[in-house]
């Protein structure tokens, strides 16, 4: 084999749907010496991570911890532990991630009822209520922040539906955690998952999850073993809980990164961080208007960490994104599914939500559009 030179990736500004830019102190934390996964010094770090996660999620849930794997591993963790074959599951879907939840639930052997709503709008709770048809369900699942379309979903009506169906409420909070207000206990969320790579501004690789006492009772009293050995919370509880028994080797240095990322969130303050995301999203939308670009989602249903922008007629989606990358080192996202070629997705997540990045993104778009429009 020929000599391979040490890797030297270009420095980009990540303004897509994730991953987001990582603060230097998080990268530094990840390069600290690797400890053994049962070293008392590491166990103390784990305890701090769990305490900080509870503080960020506004919950007292004992079962709050990061899973090894990205956001999708968090999704899979919730599904495989809460569902037994033959269970009835009701899922609201109005984007890619609602669809993915339905697929994962089906693979767990659930009878899945999906209430489909239009992409780019909040899901009408009445669609779910109608799909429920007065039956009971094991689980009602909904995406809190649909990153594929830029929609924020108020969870209160879905808690009410879950109560009517005698079900647990599961929420995908991958993009909302540390960007939007998230209050698990106040909202009555029984199970949730997130990811490190969005508003927590830590590299992809961990998925924080949290379970209410009711949800814990469901997976500790299962009749059948969890079909995934790796994601089985009953086994993992032995490592993250009192016993400290080996299950799989924790990704030590990733957890260092999460420790620092959570510390930064709490140092900034939750309210201040949510407000910062809101401020910069508003600034972005104002600037977009000056370029004759408009957001797809109505203002009161819009996410602040991610803005979906309608691509004007006659503009080449891929060429604009290439221009941003080549001339500005800026990454933004394209549309997914039915929004492919129709939307850009601009992420101002965590560390990336700054006035500088708004200005940079707008300058890049202005330049790219000028090139397209032959100016």
Ligand X SMILES: *Cc1c(COP(=O)(O)O)cnc(C)c1O
Binding residues vs ligand X (CB under 6 A): 18, 70-72, 75, 97, 143, 145, 147, 172, 174-175, 195, 197, 204
Alpha-carbon distance of 275 to 183, in angstroms, equals 16
- Residue number with the shortest CB distance to ligand X? 71
What minimum distance in Å lies between the beta carbon of 175 and ligand X?
4
- Which is nearer to ligand X, 59 or 93 (by Cβ)? 93
Q: Residue 277's closest CA among 198, 374, 349?
A: 349
What minimum distance in Å lies between the beta carbon of 197 and ligand X?
6
Instruction: State whether the Cα torsion 127-144-206-18 is positive or negative.
Output: positive
- Which is nearer to ligand X, 97 or 119 (by Cβ)? 97
What minimum distance in Å lies between the beta carbon of 369 and ligand X?
27
- Which is nearer to ligand X, 335 or 362 (by Cβ)? 335
DSSP output for 271-308:
HHHHHHHHHHHHHHHHHHHHTT--BSS-GGGB-SSEEE
What minimum distance in Å lies between the beta carbon of 196 and ligand X?
8
- Which is nearer to ligand X, 81 or 147 (by Cβ)? 147
- Which is nearer to ligand X, 94 or 323 (by Cβ)? 94
Strand segments, DSSP code E, in the chain are 13-14, 63-68, 88-93, 111-116, 139-143, 145-146, 151-152, 168-172, 191-193, 206-211, 306-310, 330-331, 333-334, 343-347
What Cα–Cα distance (Å) separates residue 36 from each residue in 182, 236, 252, 265?
33, 17, 8, 27
- Which is nearer to ligand X, 143 or 362 (by Cβ)? 143
What minimum distance in Å lies between the beta carbon of 375 and ligand X?
35
Reduced to 3 states (helix: H, G, I; strand: E, B; else coil), residue 171 is strand
Strand segments, DSSP code E, in 76-201 are 88-93, 111-116, 139-143, 145-146, 151-152, 168-172, 191-193
Tell me if 307 sits within 8 A of 374, measured CB to CB.
Answer: no
What minimum distance in Å lies between the beta carbon of 19 and ligand X?
8
DSSP output for 246-267:
-SS---HHHHHHHHHHHHHHHH
- Which is nearer to ligand X, 100 or 273 (by Cβ)? 100
For 172, phi and psi rounded to 5 degrees? -80, 115
What minimum distance in Å lies between the beta carbon of 147 and ligand X?
3
What minimum distance in Å lies between the beta carbon of 18 and ligand X?
5
- Which is nearer to ligand X, 23 or 333 (by Cβ)? 333
């Amino acid at each position: 084999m020929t000599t391979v030179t040490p890797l030297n990736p270009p420095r980009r500004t990540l303004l897509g749907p994730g991953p987001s830019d990582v603060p230097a102190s998080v990268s530094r934390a990840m390069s600290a010496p690797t400890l053994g996964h049962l070293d008392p010094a590491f166990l103390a770090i784990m305890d701090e991570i769990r305490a900080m996660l509870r503080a960020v999620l506004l919950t007292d849930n004992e079962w709050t911890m990061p899973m090894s794997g990205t956001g999708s591993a968090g999704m899979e963790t919730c599904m495989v532990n809460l569902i037994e074959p033959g269970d009835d599951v009701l899922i609201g879907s109005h984007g890619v991630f609602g669809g993915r939840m339905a697929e994962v639930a089906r693979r767990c052997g659930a009878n899945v009822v999906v209430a489909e709503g239009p992409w780019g709008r909040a899901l009408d709770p009445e669609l779910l209520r109608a799909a429920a048809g007065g039956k009971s369900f094991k689980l009602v699942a909904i995406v809190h922040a649909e990153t594929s379309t830029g929609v924020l979903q108020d969870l209160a009506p879905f808690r009410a539906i879950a109560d009517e169906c005698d079900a647990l409420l599961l929420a995908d909070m991958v993009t909302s955690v540390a960007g939007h207000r998230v209050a698990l206990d106040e909202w009555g969320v029984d199970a949730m998952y997130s990811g490190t790579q969005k508003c927590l501004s830590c590299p992809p690789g961990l998925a924080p999850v949290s379970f209410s006492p009711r949800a814990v009772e469901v997976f500790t009293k299962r009749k059948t073993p969890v079909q995934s050995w790796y994601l089985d919370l009953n086994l993992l509880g032995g490592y993250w809980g009192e016993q400290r028994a080996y299950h799989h080797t924790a990704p030590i240095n990733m957890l260092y990164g999460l420790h620092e990322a959570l510390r930064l969130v709490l140092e900034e303050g939750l309210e201040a961080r949510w407000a910062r995301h809101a401020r910069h999203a508003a600034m972005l939308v104002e600037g977009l208007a000056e370029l004759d670009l408009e957001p797809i989602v109505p203002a009161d249903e819009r996410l602040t960490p991610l803005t979906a922008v309608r691509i004007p007629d006659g503009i080449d989606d891929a060429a604009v994104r290439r221009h941003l990358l080549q001339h500005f080192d800026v990454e933004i996202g394209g549309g997914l599914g039915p929004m492919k070629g129709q939307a850009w997705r601009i992420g101002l997540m965590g560390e990336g939500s700054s006035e500088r990045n708004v200005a940079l993104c707008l300058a890049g778009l202005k330049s790219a559009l000028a090139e397209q429009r032959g100016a």
